[in-house]
Chains A and B, each alone.
Chain A
Amino acid sequence: QMGWIHLVPCLLLISPVLALFEDQVGKFDWRQRFVGCPTQVSLDRSRGGRIDNILLTSKEQAVAAISLNNGEIAWRRLQEKNTTDDIPFATTEQLMVTVTDNGRSVRAWEKMKGGLRWSVWLSDTPSTSVSVGATGDLVAVVSGNTIYGIEGSDITSYSWKGVITKSDWSRVSTMAAGSSTGSGSSLLRSELVLVTGINGQKVTLTPIDASGLSSEGSVSISANWFDSERCLISRETLWCLSSSGSLTALPLSTSSKSTTITAKPGTLRLLSISNTIAVVGEDETTVFQLKGTEIKKVLSLPVAVDSIEGVSVDGDSEKGVVVVAHSIYNLAVYQLEKGSQLAKATLHSSPSRVPISSLLLSSPSSSSPSEFQIVAVSTDCRIESLVLDVKQTGEPFIEWTREEALARVSKAEMLDLPLSELQASIESEFEGGDLGIVGAFIRRVTTQAHQVKRWAIMTSHQLVALSSSLSFGRSGNLAEILGRIRKQDGVRATRSEPFERDFFNTRKLVLLTTLEGVIYGLDNADGRMVWRLNVDEGSTHFSPLKSQLGEETVPVYMQRTAVHPGLYPIATAVYKDKKSLETVLVSFDPMSGKLLSTRRTPPVKRVDILPKEINEHIHPLVVILKSGKVVFEPELPSDFKTMPLHVMDIDPETGSLEGSELSIVNGVGSQSKRWSGDLSFEKDEKAIIVQGKPPTQRVHSRGRVLLDRNVHYKYINPNLVAVASLDEIRQTLSIHLIDSVSGQIVHTGRVTKVTGPVHLVHCEHWVAYSYWSEKSRRTELGILEMYEGDELPESNIFDSLIPTLHQPKAIVASYIFSQGIEAMGVSETEQGATTRSLIMALPFGGLFEVTRRFVDATRPVDFTQEMREEGMVPYMPEIPIATEDMVNYNQSVYSIKTIKAFPSGLESTSLMLACGMDMFYTRLTPSGTFDILKDDYDTGLITLVLVGLFVGSYVCKRIVKRNSIKAAWA
């Protein structure tokens, strides 16, 4: 054990390559934080009516507040991830009370800062039906058939609990404190009321106070109209709309009597006006108000609306104002008092034709009584804040937009941008056919003229930008001006238009498909959105595909890249139509987000891209239908021929394998079975990860040089697939390496007494995998390397059907990793010559980069002087984790699901993107920036020295000349 300590300095010498300097912050990286797709939203109406935040809970189990002014996250607390249920919440003057963990845990958060005030554990048994109400210091939670009362401000357990008598429906309703509006009937004394109902029988109202349910105050009302599916509580009133269209209102007071009116069938929508409700029918929208014992129709619109929300003006419900969203961002404001339209606005700039799931409206402030702030949440998780001035016509002003679908990214790609005009003109000059001497000369001159013109335009733009930036700063010393120029330079580098490739090809388009049906194009320079595309505009039939392992995915394929001048690029995403169960292929231009075409096919089993291109540089998609038929998109030319493709199928439950060959003759594909195999899984064993290698991956060196100058040749099989299977009961993890063409099982390794989470990276000739060791109770990292032997293989191209000279040999090592791992990725460079790095997302928000030199199966245990001279790293059981090795420094990112890296034009540089709840992008230089100057290279100083030398020598020359003349005269 002591030996390891001696070797630590040796390791320390290597590691700082990866660390970051403070002045590099934000230079190449950016982070975006999300709250997830909102399930419940509310405006924070505290602090004397001034609205500051939007409080929300999301599908991704986040409790958060978004600032209404700028749309930034004010605070966010991530809850347990073991459930996908919605988080219900209620608000009081200062707190936001949430019920999480399947109705078991109640937490109270400070609305302003998000600090935890108190948390209470209700019960060990989870339940599904959950309702929460809160007022002042009292919180009531209905969980299952139990009601809990929590009172006080500094508490750790609930004050009381009571059993709710059997009912179909139970809710806690919060009465508006001191509310005297509306019906004016005597309200119940307490501010919280438990409302329970039995279908078609009765409704019971029970007041809740600090000591418990007050049974003597309980009122039962026989209600044959009650239907738990069709009722809502809007503050002081219970509303029910029967399927036949009769609307019933029951004020929640001791002397309550229900009132019924005939309305049209439809769905009930809550409004933030007391005693008021909206009924949205198929072709009609009506707003009803309960006045005394009478329901009055206060507004009637002859159209169906997407979303409707109302707010009272000056605290008077009769003077309320209603905003409706007619289908798609077609907003209208109505006054309830007169039932007239105040304003109408259409949002032309908004690209999405997507229904709005919730609408929030704030009452206008006294200083600008005609301005309404509207927050719209669309079904594709976009949150948008608008300001609508009813006195002005025209478009409402969009304050900010949040794209929360980005918290559910499925696939990420980074695409090369189109060649710049300059590069394209050079390309086209060589691509055009033979024109003869004169023609070629003319072309040459015109291209050069274009180049000069372009240069002149660019320079003039730069000068204009520079002069404007200088003139803005009226005062300031030289350093400030220089700083401004430098800043200008940076801005130009990141935001320069047109959107085209830069010199080192580090600027790319990030293409992201999400599980919400939205596809995004981001600029990797600063993370801004270039375009967005909702694939099922108008309809809500989008659903992701299911992979063989049961994961939801929206795959995307690049059918034509942007490198062909004159031809637009094509990308195709695949998803499932929820209704018709058809598979939909959506083609779009990934540079502009323009939809090109949509095609539908019967349910597919598998989609892949053909490696060979047909005319116009298009790679066709191979679509294998569930019926076994093979379809190509677009269709192949009739004389198209290519090598057969090989397809491997695995049954994740039993481990049986099947290999088939897809032969394409004269443009028609047919699938035939070639081999079958079996991984012979145990009863509880399941395949959890199946990973091949990216087809574009390059391996720079074929072998590893040993100490005795022999070479160990790597087993580089592009058809190799790694399968990880886990047996949760017997706690065994198996790693299988299978040749997907020949069906040969190249290697099988087992690790016992381990459980998940398992992550795996398959790359070049090695597989890295992480698991939780139950025996030692720590995370461990395994590395498996495959070698062919000491003899150079005859062919440079690997062929699965020709047996290798020797049976490939596996070298395995494992390391202790002192942290948990949420996701694992590997760096990728253009030639594969740079030492790779593994990137791991750690549960506390760090992205840890560790070089492959540490995660190496061949680190020697017996370390000699010779090895030291060779620069080898000795085996140490633990992989050191230092906070300096976090590529995202203090920009923590949580719940990361995928880490993907892409090559850039520089061999040293890999572009990494981590997606999950948050998103982080940075440039990785696993071996340092060896091919460009360091980014702190002092160009200014060198220029200064050079100029100084020139001036100095000139001055010296003059002095010498004068001196010599003087000397001659003397």
Chain B
Amino acid sequence: FDLCQMRLLVLAACMWAWASADSLYSVEGTVVYPRGDSSLPANTRILLNYGKYVGFPREDGTFAVNGVAPGSYIVQVENVDYVFEPVRVDITASGKMRTRKISLLQPGAVQQLPYPLKLVARESTRYFRKREEWRVTDVLFSPMVLMIALPLGIMLILPKLTANDPELQKEMENMQLPKMDMPDMSDMMANFFGPKTTGTKKITGGKTGAAQKKKN
């Protein structure tokens, strides 16, 4: 008797398994496009698990992906012009649907969404970076230009200011700045290309004077 019952049970289990393996479901929903773009449905596909099942939206955006076996699927909209957020749909063996947000980092987290699906275009897809445009302000405020312009300004304006005030001029000349041990560029060039020039020292002295002024 026991054996018979067992057999029945097994049979029932088999029947159930057969029935559940054979019943397929359809995932339905709507794709919501930005307004005014009517050519979009013809360029859109709905992919379940990256193309295991495929669906196509109708002109009004509604779609049905048919023949889907029970399981868990990532539903994605394939469209060149817009970005859509993918969602996860779980189909139980009895055909119950559950929709939730995809959280790849925490697959266990559940944030439920309504079913039938509503897939809304998030933004238009950006494929390119913007090239930097040439702007006057960019050039003016670039550090190189500032570095050149500021000392230049000081160099031109300071002598004019000090020219009216002989006392200040004297004070500046007396100011002791630590002498830099930097080789002079023009000096080096001259040595490099031409014959040794005499009186280089004098020029160098003059230059350091100018440098002193600059520092102020």
* A and B together in one complex: yes
Q: Which residues of A contact B (CB under 8 A)?
A: 1, 16, 19-23, 25, 75, 77-82, 101, 104-105, 107, 110, 113-119, 121, 124-125, 156, 775-778, 816, 818-820, 822, 843-845, 877-878, 883-884, 886, 889-890, 892, 936
B129 x A113 contact (CB < 8 A) = no
B127 x A889 contact (CB < 8 A) = yes
A113 x B104 contact (CB < 8 A) = no
The listed residue with most A CB atoms (<10 A of its CB), out of B67, B76, B80, B88, is B67
B105 x A19 contact (CB < 8 A) = no
Q: Which residue of B74, B105, B125, B131 contacts A936 across the interface (Cβ within 8 Å)?
A: B131
Query: Given the complex, which residues of B lie within 8 Å of A82, measured CB to CB?
Result: 52
B58 x A116 contact (CB < 8 A) = yes
**Bound CA span A279–B41, Å:** 45
A892 x B83 contact (CB < 8 A) = no
Q: Which residue of A78, A843, A883 contacts B50 across the interface (Cβ within 8 Å)?
A: A843
A-facing mask of B84-118, CB < 8 A → 1, else 0? Answer: 00001000000000000000110100000000000
Query: Given the complex, which residues of B lie within 8 Å of A16, measured CB to CB?
Result: 129
Query: Given the complex, which residues of A lie within 8 Å of B72, measured CB to CB?
Result: 777
Q: Which residue of A80, A115, A884 contacts B129 across the interface (Cβ within 8 Å)?
A: A884
**Closest approach, in angstroms, between the C-beta of A64 and any C-beta of chain B?**
12
B129 x A20 contact (CB < 8 A) = yes
Given the interface contacts A878-B104, A883-B126, does A118 sit within 8 Å of B54 by beta carbon?
A: no
A81 x B51 contact (CB < 8 A) = yes
Other than the known A121-B26, A125-B22, what 8 A-B pairs have Cβ atoms closer than 8 Å? A20-B129, A21-B129, A78-B45, A124-B67, A156-B64, A820-B49, A843-B76, A890-B81
**Bound CA span A905–B130, Å:** 29
**Bound CA span A81–B50, Å:** 11
For A124, give the chain B residue with the smallest CB separation.
B24
**Bound CA span A605–B76, Å:** 43
**Bound CA span A892–B53, Å:** 19
B127 x A78 contact (CB < 8 A) = no
Query: Given the complex, which residues of A lie within 8 Å of B192, measured CB to CB?
Result: none
Q: Which residues of B contact A (CB under 8 A)?
A: 22-24, 26, 39, 41-42, 45, 47, 49-59, 64, 66-67, 72, 74, 76, 78-81, 83, 88, 104-105, 107, 125-131
B67 x A105 contact (CB < 8 A) = yes
Query: Given the complex, which residues of B lie within 8 Å of A115, measured CB to CB?
Result: 41-42, 58-59
B54 x A20 contact (CB < 8 A) = no
* 3 nearest CB pairs, A to B: A820-B50, A121-B66, A889-B127
**Bound CA span A14–B135, Å:** 25
**Closest approach, in angstroms, between the C-beta of B27 and any C-beta of chain A?**
12
A890 x B131 contact (CB < 8 A) = no
**Bound CA span A775–B104, Å:** 12
B127 x A884 contact (CB < 8 A) = yes
The listed residue with most B CB atoms (<10 A of its CB), out of A79, A80, A822, is A80
**Closest approach, in angstroms, between the C-beta of A74 and any C-beta of chain B?**
11
How many contacts A-B (CB < 8 Å)?
A: 114
For A774, give the chain B residue with the smallest CB separation.
B72
**Bound CA span A775–B106, Å:** 11
**Closest approach, in angstroms, between the C-beta of B105 and any C-beta of chain A?**
6
A878 x B67 contact (CB < 8 A) = no
Given the interface contacts A115-B41, A776-B107, A820-B51, does A104 sit within 8 Å of B67 by beta carbon?
A: yes
The listed residue with most A CB atoms (<10 A of its CB), out of B39, B51, B131, is B51
Identify 17 residue pairs between A and B in the complex whose beta-carbon atoms are under 8 Å apart, listed by A's number: A16-B129, A21-B130, A25-B128, A104-B66, A115-B41, A115-B58, A116-B41, A116-B56, A116-B57, A119-B66, A156-B64, A777-B74, A819-B50, A878-B105, A884-B126, A884-B127, A890-B127
Query: Given the complex, which residues of A lie within 8 Å of B49, measured CB to CB?
Result: 820
Query: Given the complex, which residues of A lie within 8 Å of B57, measured CB to CB?
Result: 116
Query: Given the complex, which residues of A lie within 8 Å of B45, measured CB to CB?
Result: 77-78
Q: Which residue of B23, B54, B66, B128 contacts A21 across the interface (Cβ within 8 Å)?
A: B128
Q: Which residue of B24, B39, B64, B107 contacts A778 across the interface (Cβ within 8 Å)?
A: B107
A21 x B131 contact (CB < 8 A) = yes
Given the interface contacts A107-B56, A892-B80, does A101 sit within 8 Å of B105 by beta carbon?
A: no
**Bound CA span A116–B131, Å:** 39
Given the interface contacts A20-B127, A105-B67, A777-B72, does A883 sit within 8 Å of B83 by beta carbon?
A: yes
The listed residue with most A CB atoms (<10 A of its CB), out of B52, B74, B104, B107, is B104
Query: Given the complex, which residues of A lie within 8 Å of B52, measured CB to CB?
Result: 82
For B88, give the chain A residue with the smallest CB separation.
A777
**Closest approach, in angstroms, between the C-beta of A942 and any C-beta of chain B?**
14
B128 x A78 contact (CB < 8 A) = no
Query: Given the complex, which residues of B lie within 8 Å of A822, measured CB to CB?
Result: 50-51
For B41, give the chain A residue with the smallest CB separation.
A115
Given the interface contacts A816-B105, A878-B104, does A23 sit within 8 Å of B42 by beta carbon?
A: no
Q: Which residue of B41, B55, B78, B79 contacts A843 across the interface (Cβ within 8 Å)?
A: B78
A777 x B107 contact (CB < 8 A) = yes
B127 x A119 contact (CB < 8 A) = no
